[in-house]
Amino acid sequence: MSMFDAKQFNPLVFLKYMETVEAERTNRLIKAGVFVGEPTFAKSLADGVGGNYMQRNFSGRLPNNETIYDGAHDIATGTLPTFKQGVVVCGWARAFTEKDFTVSITGKDFMSEVASQLVEYLDERHEDILISILKGIFGSALSGKIVTKQLGSLSVADIVDGLALQGDKSRNIVAVAMHSTILSSLIKANLAQAVKFIDKSGIERDLGIYQWDSRDVIEDDALVPTESYAKTADVAIVAGKVYYTESEGVYTKVAQPDVADIANYYERTLAYPVYLLGRNAFTFQPLPVKVPVEMTREALKNGGQDVLISRERYVMQPYGISFKQASMAGNAPTVAELETANSWELANDGNGNTLPLKNIPLACIVFEVSGI
């Protein structure tokens, strides 16, 4: 089998590609009801300087300032609080090239396939950006809404403790996003319930969807664990546990641990984030782009090739949390800037008062597993 332009083909029979590789991801995370639109953003951003960042104001709740009414006390007055939220615009562009020669040798127009996959591709990218933002906001702004558990001792208390971070607002949580490793552990512990339906023949069938405490489970392996190492506290070799040595920041697995060297051994810990997502927890609003999609033709390059170009701008903003304009080096945030904890802060009223954490419909359970 030969290769040209990353396309496999048989030069003897010129086999055509009849099937597209199945998408690896379901993109259910961005379809879980956690997004709400805000059409006024387009005009608000256009009216602002640069059109890439703006301050959004929203109202809080009336304060409790009742005064006893007995004819002897003045009636106290209260003010409706307003909170300021920094809103940033994400902007991304991408291009896909297909050479004429690939059509000549395979008999298939791959550019039409690129176009057909573009919508699903954008869903994947939006989901990746959402995950990057979740990393950033839970690194600082929402660090008080994280509960840590051990993966090896799952119990019904895990989801209860996570929902407790929402207090009496826990009913707003509609979905739980997790890595497949966590879902597998929940299934084995009989904590995740399969969603079933009865077909026309009266046969009960599995939808391949799970719930955890009546919340939809969003399985996504893009929710990768973070890795850390720490000196072991063991004084004897524990059977089945994996130990590591360290040299200039590089950790190497010990093939045959020796208790004589145990003081120099490290243990690895994987921390899997599980996000509890509330309804309308994020604003997602596409914004105007002069030319969102176009095709260009480069007749001389590589014997002739077509280029599909896609551009987009949008707001993906968590409720009650501000993106700091000063943390953005350019006119739009990079993935690294979105993932940086110091890029985010709780919306405030200008006097140091912020929204109650339970009013922000997001929480996180971190499941740790060590010694692997």
Q: Characterise 6 by phi-psi region: left (phi > 0), alpha (psi -120 to 50), beta (else).
A: left
* List of E strands, 155-260: 173-178, 193-198, 204-212, 215-219, 226-231, 244-247, 250-253
- CB contact set of 330 (below 8 Å; sequence gap of 6+): none
* pLDDT tens per residue across all 372 residues of the chain: 554 455 444 444 333 433 445 555 666 777 777 888 888 888 777 665 557 888 888 777 777 778 888 888 888 887 777 788 899 999 999 998 888 877 777 777 777 777 778 878 888 899 999 999 999 999 999 999 999 999 999 999 999 999 999 999 999 999 999 999 999 999 999 999 988 777 777 777 777 789 999 999 999 999 999 999 999 999 999 999 999 999 999 999 999 999 999 999 999 999 999 999 999 999 999 998 888 888 888 889 989 888 888 899 999 999 999 999 999 999 999 999 999 999 999 998 888 888 889 999 999 999 999 998
Q: Among residues 158, 151, 156, 176, which one has the least CA distance to residue 370?
A: 151
pTM (two decimals): 0.83
Q: Which residue has the tokens 């004084």?
A: 235
State whether CATH 1.10.10 applies to domain 34-59+81-226+272-353+362-370: no
- Determine the Cα angle at 37 with ends 33 and 40, to 5°: 165
Please list the residue range(s) of the chain that carry CATH number 3.90.1690: 34-59+81-226+272-353+362-370
Residue 258 in contact with residue 117, Cβ under 8 Å? no
